[in-house]
Amino acid sequence: NAGVMQNPRHLVRRRGQEARLRCSPMKGHSHVYWYRQLPEEGLKFMVYLQKENIIDESGMPKERFSAEFPKEGPSILRIQQVVRGDSAAYFCASSPGGKEGYTFGSGTRLTVV
């Protein structure tokens, strides 16, 4: 089992560009969660998805951020028109169902220059 796979590991974008972060959950896991971690800070919940459905997006900024988890393929976190404040580590976690059994990926470190 390859675990939760995130790519890319590092992503550099200029202000105004789009960033796409990918997350492939562990085999058998149908629940995906995205978190943002700023330097020296905790993990801030962004969005919770199941296949083809957004369950809870209460932590997502209202503008420029979107997430999807299609029937086929990885979950995608998309950030449009990035700004310097979007620079952070973005972690994805997956679980077989609900809150127990969370496994995190290695994260994508986004740098906006």
Partner 1 sequence: GENVEQHPSTLSVQEGDSAVIKCTYSDSASNYFPWYKQELGKRPQLIIDIRSNVGEKKDQRIAVTLNKTAKHFSLHITETQPEDSAVYFCAASSGSQGNLIFGKGTKLSVKP
CA distance 35 to 33: 7
- What DSSP designation does 26 have? P
Cβ atoms within 10 Å of 2's Cβ, excluding its own: 7
Hey, what amino acid is at 33?
Y
Please choose, out of 15-23, 64-72, 75-83, 100-108, the segment that lies near partner 1 by the rule CB under 8 A.
100-108
CB of 56 to partner 1, least distance (A): 6
Backbone angles phi, psi at 29, to 5 degrees: -95, 130
Q: Which of residues 3-62 bind partner 1 (CB under 8 A)?
A: 31, 33, 35, 41-45, 48, 55-56, 58
Computed from CA positions of residues 43, 52, 63, 86, in that sequence, does the dihedral angle turn out positive or negative?
A: positive
CB of 19 to partner 1, least distance (A): 20
Measured from the CB atom, the residue of 6 and 86 that comes closer to partner 1 is 6
97 is a site residue for partner 1 (CB under 8 A): yes
**Residue 21, SS3 per DSSP:** strand
Measured from the CB atom, the residue of 13 and 29 that comes closer to partner 1 is 29
Q: Which residues bind partner 1 (CB under 8 A)?
A: 31, 33, 35, 41-45, 48, 55-56, 58, 91, 95, 97-100, 102-107
